[in-house]
Amino acid sequence: MSSFHLLRVIYLSISAGIVLLDQFTKALVVDRIPLYRSVPVVRGFFDLTHVRNTGAAFGIFASLESPWRSLFLNAIALSVFAAVLIWALRSPVDAGRLQVGLALILGGAVGNLIDRFRFGSVTDFLLFHLGRYEWPSFNVADSSITVGVFLLAWVLWTEAPAGETPASS
């Protein structure tokens, strides 16, 4: 196997690993924690809380009552997935940080898309809070997307575009 193909397999494995971990953790939560119940992990800071998110990230559009909401969110998610996949395939395979960032985004997007297509919502369960302040619940896929976006932003911010040296940018 060529190094080109080996790197592609590694990036695909990262995405697949995220999907598997995401679906496994969501299945555990659905199986072991009743809907809308919490299990304290670190009292006053972190709970496992089983919720269903019918909206986008952090519940955006969840309160929108429309028969088109699910179709709209799925169309947006599929479009982003396609754009990121095309970007990954058109980018140099040896641009490791870029490819890993894109692989993390793809894995997270697929994990949440599976939920949307199967259930019409996404299972969220990681809840951080401090006193009365609370971060919206999220899951492994959301975490992967967030880390991937930050890695991607870092790469775009710190690495010169093709043909430029860092001094000329």
Known catalytic residues are 124, 142
CA 123 to chain centre: 13
**Which residues does 49 contact at the CB level (< 8 Å), separation at least 6?**
33, 36, 37, 38, 39, 124, 125, 126, 127, 137
**Which residues does 113 contact at the CB level (< 8 Å), separation at least 6?**
74, 77, 78, 81
Cβ density class 4-17: b for 16+ within 10 Å, e for less: eeebbeebeebbee
